[in-house]
Amino acid sequence: MIRVPECQTELDLVIVLDGSNSIYPWESVTLFLNRLLQNMDIGPQQTQVGIVQYGENVTHEFNLNTYTTTEDVLAAANAIVQRKGRQTMTALGIDTARKEAFTEARGARRGVQKVMVIVTDGESHDNFQLKRVIEDCENDNIQRYSIAILGSYNRGNLSTEKFIEEIKSIASQPTEKHFFNVSDEFALVNIVEALGERIFALEGSEPTASVLVARCAPGSDNTGATSSCGSTTAS
């Protein structure tokens, strides 16, 4: 008899990381990943995590099915090095994640909610592709959270208006629940809690979602009511 966890969370999560030269320091990104992933119940019947890094090119750091425990995913995330790149091909990164990372060959599960988290610090060099790429994600029912790091703009005293507009366009609707911006790389860690809550909060618009917050109290009496899992409405 298989014991069904009280708070089953089945999500396929792919994190799309900008690793271009302007991101500094990379340790802030590592810390962000660490804090975000450490609270997730990762496994073949729970949340699966894959990571893609992009700059000019795209690299699959690991696939949804490469690791099957939280510990192993954390170790792999900690070992990711910044691959650099003079260009920021955000559309290419997202498109590659959609087309390749979310395939069954790389571990994506049929009928499981696809979630993408995009972290970037600059306007893309392939902006002209972005609209189509996002439409394709929309058609594939990929829920998208986007995070704009304003560090290099703030350090250079540059206007962030266009950048923020672009990164907002990546996020799913409603934008205010799917878009974040942080003043610099160090501040990434400050949004981990809100991001985690929003990713794992029950989405009322998803009829198939049996998605509950990850930090369920063990043994909590979940009889279908999300409130027993401490779900907070991220409004």
Q: Which residues contribute to the site for Mg ion (CB under 5 A)? A: 20, 22, 88, 122
Tokens (6 digits) for 98: 């959609």
Q: How near is the Cβ of 214 to Mg ion at its closest, in Å?
A: 30
The residue among 46 and 88 lying less far from Mg ion, judged by its C-beta, is: 88
The residue among 8 and 30 lying less far from Mg ion, judged by its C-beta, is: 30
Q: How near is the Cβ of 33 to Mg ion at its closest, in Å?
A: 18
The residue among 151 and 196 lying less far from Mg ion, judged by its C-beta, is: 151
Q: How near is the Cβ of 100 to Mg ion at its closest, in Å?
A: 22
Q: How near is the Cβ of 151 to Mg ion at its closest, in Å?
A: 10
The residue among 22 and 96 lying less far from Mg ion, judged by its C-beta, is: 22
